């Protein structure tokens, strides 16, 4: 049987790669970005910034961005193509909203089925003019303005993308913008802004609620940005090491932001032998090494209040659950229906194909772990979703490549080096 062994440096974090490009474009001066994730999603953001008049060039393994300031975007000559990337669409809509330009945003079939009104309703409240297809979807046309209103936004649906879009818009708004988060989400935008010496306030109003206050417009100087390894990408190999007998791996220079390592706590509570060692800080983010080795996992309950921190890791956690002893219940997965695929259905469909007992009830997923021997090939449907394709590629290691995944190309959306790194650890 195959096993994982050795050490690996994980590719750059996807969330920070998007934000590094956008905030460098909105700074003044030249920024050198190291370890940028060159995935299809991130390249969509890079291409759109070029269409908006930002000079970006590749220099060896680095990317150099020449910032035009917070109000420096020019009107594009053609529609801005976000590809499959919800992060690109939502953050860039926020970025252009406070510039006096007209932009049309388009995306692929999958992205064109994902809600954009959750961001645009906030932007319309402050004076941007937005036309959405069927009042919710791409393509959309937005007319931005330098005279957007500084108001208080109350974000009811936990979303780092909504929060980041409003923060980025506020960088070029005159006056105080307040953003209230009722459930804390990933804070990469805030950490990167602090690293770039942008002054803003964060107040904890109670245990759950916090308020971000920005007093714009801002002008900030470009700084070189080094991007740490992506913990969501690391999660596939961590689970692989936990379920493949005799495996032990170390993943180096991985970002250890607490809002991104909740999946490690979950795996540890399932009995996973995982060790974290912080080694340094890069551009406001804690970074370190993760060691994982084969473990006998047990089923657990994962409460709904963890869902905002596990949104990208549920597919690979479902693979861990399928190999654990007993039942795992994942609660409050409503948001999974609005990702690259309906991930609840994608997980259900494929685990059933493998022979795992699984059912869904009120957006809660019940998975009964079982060691199964496959005597024949099984077709796995990725639904064009990169995280589904990668998750079942890891399970495939247990089944001697008997799982035939229909579309591995979609993996390039977030992790073009996935297959190379997988083979390196075998």
Mean pLDDT in runs of 10 for the chain (426 residues)?
93 97 98 97 98 97 97 98 97 98 97 95 98 97 97 91 97 98 92 98 87 97 98 98 98 95 97 97 96 98 90 95 98 81 92 96 95 93 95 95 94 95 96
What pLDDT score does 233 carry? 97
The strand pair at 5-9 and 137-143 is best described as unpaired
- Sheet of strand 210-216: strand arrangement: 152-155, 175-181, 210-216, 201-204
The token duo for 60 is: 């060896």
d(CA 150, CA 153): 9
What's the CATH architecture for 14-216? Alpha-beta prism (3.65)
Catalytic residues: 312
213 near 200, Cβ under 8 Å? yes
What pLDDT score does 302 carry? 97
**14-216 and 228-425 agree in CATH topology:** yes
Cα dihedral 235/191/149/215 (nearest 10) = 170
Q: Domain 228-425 in CATH: superfamily? A: Enolpyruvate transferase domain (3.65.10.10)
What pLDDT score does 157 carry? 84
What pLDDT score does 337 carry? 78
What pLDDT score does 369 carry? 97
- Could you tell me which residues are beta bridge partners of residue 325? 298
DSSP codes of every residue in 47-86: HHHHHTT-EEEEETTEEEEEEE-TT-----SS-EE-TT-H
What pLDDT score does 305 carry? 87
Domain spans, the chain: 14-216, 228-425
What pLDDT score does 41 carry? 96
What pLDDT score does 176 carry? 98
């Amino acid at each position: 049987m195959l096993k994982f062994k050795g050490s690996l440096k994980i590719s750059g974090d996807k969330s920070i790669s998007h934000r590094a490009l956008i905030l460098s474009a909105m700074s003044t001066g030249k920024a050198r970005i190291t370890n940028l994730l060159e995935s299809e999603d991130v390249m969509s953001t890079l291409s759109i910034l070029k269409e908006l008049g930002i000079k970006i060039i590749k220099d060896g393994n680095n990317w150099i961005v020449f910032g035009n300031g917070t109000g420096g975007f020019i009107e594009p000559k053609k529609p801005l193509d976000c590809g499959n990337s919800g992060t690109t669409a939502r953050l860039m809509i926020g970025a252009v909203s406070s510039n006096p330009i007209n932009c049309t945003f388009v995306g692929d079939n999958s992205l064109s089925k994902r809600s954009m009104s959750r961001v645009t309703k906030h932007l319309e409240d402050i004076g941007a003019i937005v036309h959405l297809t069927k009042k919710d979807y791409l393509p959309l046309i937005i007319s931005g303005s330098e005279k957007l209103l500084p108001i208080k936004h109350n974000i009811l649906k936990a979303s780092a993308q909504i929060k980041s879009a409003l923060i980025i818009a506020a960088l070029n708004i005159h006056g105080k913008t307040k953003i209230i988060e009722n459930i804390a989400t990933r804070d990469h935008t805030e950490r990167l802004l602090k690293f770039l010496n942008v002054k803003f306030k964060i107040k904890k109003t109670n245990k759950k609620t916090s308020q971000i206050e920005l007093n714009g417009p801002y002008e900030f100087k470009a700084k070189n940005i080094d991007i740490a390894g992506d913990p969501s990408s690391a999660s596939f190999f961590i689970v692989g090491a936990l379920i493949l007998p005799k495996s032990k791996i170390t993943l180096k220079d991985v970002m250890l932001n607490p809002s991104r390592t909740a999946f490690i706590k979950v795996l540890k509570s399932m009995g996973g032998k995982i060790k974290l060692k912080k080694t340094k800080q890069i551009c406001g983010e804690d970074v370190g090494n993760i060691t994982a080795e084969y473990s006998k996992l047990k089923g657990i309950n994962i409460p709904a209040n963890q869902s905002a921190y596990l949104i990208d890791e549920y597919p690979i956690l479902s693979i861990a659950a399928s190999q654990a002893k007993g039942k795992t219940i994942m609660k409050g997965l409503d948001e999974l229906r609005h990702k690259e695929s309906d991930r609840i259905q994608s997980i259900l469909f494929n685990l059933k194909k493998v022979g795992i007992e699984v059912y869904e009830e009120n957006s809660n997923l019940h998975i009964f772990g079982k060691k199964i021997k496959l005597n024949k090939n099984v077709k796995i449907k990725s639904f064009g979703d990169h995280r589904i394709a990668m998750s079942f590629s890891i399970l495939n290691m247990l089944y001697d490549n008997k799982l035939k995944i229909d579309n591995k190309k979609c993996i390039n959306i977030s992790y073009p080096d996935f297959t190379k790194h997988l083979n390196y650890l075998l």
